[in-house]
Amino acid sequence: MSEPEILWPSWIGVVAEDLEAQRAFYRDVLGLREADAAEAWVQFDMGDGRTFELLARDRAVPQYAERRYQVGFEVRDILLARRELIARGLEAVSGVEGGDEAGALWAYFRDPEGNVFEITQRLQQSGSD
């Protein structure tokens, strides 16, 4: 087996029951800078390519079904890393998601106690220096 090369977290998320209350707390009370948002999520730029994201709880989506903190470990090759983690017996919660428009690819897994975590591969932005 090859090594999946799991790197330091580049993403931390909070699955929130009340997205707007959490948004106001992290933005207005803690002073985090909002970078992007949609109906079901809000991202804060933490510098150096790191993201803190609030996600609306959604019982129909396994990775967002429960309130919790969730970490996303950066990987260089998500397809290789996902394949190796599955070969090592980890439970995959999702396939590879995201794409060029999102600027990253990600996939969700469970650890032995059922905690959900993510692996993330940042994509090269075209036109950047």
Q: CATH number, domain at 39?
A: 3.10.180.10
Residue 29 maps to a domain? yes
Residue 36 maps to a domain? yes
Residue 1 maps to a domain? no
Residue 4 maps to a domain? no
Residue type, 64: Y
91-95 average pLDDT score: 94
Q: Angle at CA 126, nearest 5°, toward 107 and 106?
A: 5
pLDDT for residue 10: 87
Residue 31 maps to a domain? yes
Helices assigned H by DSSP within the chain? 19-24, 78-87
Identify the domain containing residue 13 by its residue range. 9-122
**Tens digits of residue pLDDT in 34-68:** 999 999 999 999 988 889 999 999 999 988 999 98
Residue 3 maps to a domain? no
In the predicted model, is pLDDT for residue 113 greater than 80? no
Q: Angle at CA 50, nearest 5°, toward 101 and 57?
A: 70
Residue 129 maps to a domain? no
pTM of the full structure: 0.75
In the predicted model, is pLDDT for residue 125 greater than 80? no
DSSP 39: T
Residue type, 52: F
Distance CA 74, CA 60 (A): 26
In the predicted model, is pLDDT for residue 127 greater than 60? no
Residue 128 maps to a domain? no
Domain count, the chain: 1
Distance CA 126, CA 107 (A): 23
pLDDT for residue 128: 45
